[in-house]
Amino acid sequence: MEMPYDVPAVRTPLAPSQVAAQLHGLGVEQGGVLVVHTSFRAVRPVVGGPAGLIDALQAASGPDGTIVMPSWGDDDDVPFDPEVTPASADLGVTAEVFRQLPGVRRSAHPFAFAATGPHAARIVSDPLPTPPHRLESPIGRAYELDARVLLLGVNHDANTTIHLAEVLAGVPYGVPKHCTVLEAWRPVRVDYIENDCCCARFALVDGWLREQGLQQEGTVGHAHARLARSRDVVRVVLGRLAREPLVFLHDPADGCQECNAARELIRPDPPAPKDQARAGPDRT
């Protein structure tokens, strides 16, 4: 009997050791810093579930490696508690399992990352960074440590390092946001401007890295995986933003509400002062 086309192929569960071997084949090296963005739905099944995937990441990185994952929460109106606040559902189940493991450190502010390994404390110990992905932030500290970025079953729209490049480039767009922190045991609202948009056009970074041979790709688990140096991501994105500061924003005519909201803070270039505007050519 012929099977209908919409029936998914049966996936064979992979042992953590098999996934670790795939990670090594992709280019993950022992002893480095690895920033992981992942969708377990794309990777699965792995023996042991998300914990088994984390075992594979730790085996591939070795005892001297440092693993980093995003770990912020969902509710901007509730003070963040690194001990109990769940990782945002948007970050996936692996991030939630990871932040609860023994020995994992987590930022004490709402823009949290979690990390384990020799460099974990340095990566997560900065105070509240505004904007969230500035150099003095977990993703910035990972960049300073020459981290590798692993996109496991996700695209560059999940790559927080691109937000770091936006900050370093001084992009002119942004969105008003807020978070809530505790001061003297009382909740206090903190307003800030974040260099944000819908992030869909971050997918352009895929091609930019491929063109220069700066991205390794392959299968890890049952997912497509991408691996690149954080410094390469930032350098390539900075170069493009220097020429096209709005490259990540959809055209206003596309009707993207998030990108159009980001454009609202952009101010037109100020007019030249009147005395300079009237000045003729320099005749000296």
The tens-digit pLDDT sequence of the chain (284 residues) is: 444 444 356 889 999 999 999 999 999 999 999 999 999 999 999 999 999 999 999 999 999 999 999 999 999 999 999 999 999 999 999 999 999 999 999 999 999 999 999 999 999 999 999 999 999 999 999 999 999 999 999 999 999 999 999 999 999 999 999 999 999 899 999 999 999 999 999 999 999 999 999 999 999 999 999 999 999 999 999 999 999 999 999 999 999 999 999 999 897 654 444 443 333 333 33
Spatial strand order in the sheet of 148-152:
105-106, 113-116, 66-70, 33-38, 148-152, 223-229, 216-220
Distances (CA, A) of 172 to 54, 250, 256, 263, 267: 38, 15, 18, 8, 8
HEC assignment per residue over 139-159: HHHHHHCCCEEEEECCCHHHC
What's this model's pTM, rounded to 2 decimal places? 0.90
